[in-house]
Amino acid sequence: MTVISGLTEQIYSDRDIMALFSGTGIIRRMLEVEAALARAEGHCGVIPASAALCIHDVCHVGDVDGMLDLAAIADASIAAGNIAIPFVKQLTAAVHRVDPEAARYVHWGATSQDILDTALVLQIRQVASQLDQDLLAATEACARLTAVHRDTIMVGRTWLQHALPTTFGAKTAGWLQALERSRLRLRQDGIQVAQLQFGGAAGTLASLGTSAPAVSQALAAELGLALPAMPWHSHRDRLADIAATLGVLTGTLGKIARDISLMAQTEVRELAEPGGPGRGGSSTMPHKRNPVGCAAILAAATRVPPLVSTILSAMIQEHERALGGWQAEWDVLPQIASLTGGALRHLVGILDGLDVHPLRMKENLDATKGLILAEAYALALGSHIGRLQAHELVEQATKEAIRNDCSLPVSIRAALSVDPLMRDLFSDEEIEQLGKPENYVGAASSICDTVLAHWKQSVGT
Residues assigned a catalytic role = 282, 321
Burial of 258 per CB tally in 10 Å (0-12, 13-18, 19+): middle
Rounded (5°) CA angle 265-268-272 = 55
For 132-213, where are the E strands, in sequence order?
A: 153-158, 161-167
Q: How far apart are CA 16 and CA 14, in angstroms?
A: 6
Distance CA 254, CA 263 (A): 14
Report phi then psi at 234, rounded to 5.
Answer: -110, 15
What residues are paired with 166 via a beta bridge?
154
Question: Which residue in 263, 237, 14, 50 sits closest to 135, CA to CA?
Answer: 14
Phi then psi for 338, rounded to 5 degrees? Answer: -70, -40
No. of helices (H) and no. of strands (E), the chain: 20, 4
Computed from CA positions of residues 129, 131, 133, 136, in that sequence, does the dihedral angle turn out positive or negative?
A: negative
Q: Which long-range contacts (CB under 8 A, 24 or more apart) does 65-73 make?
A: 65/24, 67/94, 68/27, 68/94, 70/1, 70/23, 70/24, 70/27, 71/1, 73/1, 73/27
CA angle 291-296-298, nearest 5°?
Answer: 90
DSSP state of 106: T
SS3 (DSSP) at 154: strand
**Partner residues linked to 162 by β-bridges:** 157
Q: Is 171 exposed, middle or buried (0-12, 13-18, 19+ CB in 10 A)?
A: buried
- Which of 119, 92, 100, 94 has its CA nearest to residue 25? 119
Report how far residue 400's alpha carbon sits from residue 412's, in angstroms, rounded to the nearest whole number. Answer: 9
Provide the residue type at 456 as one letter.
K
Phi/psi at 422 (nearest 5 deg)? -115, -5
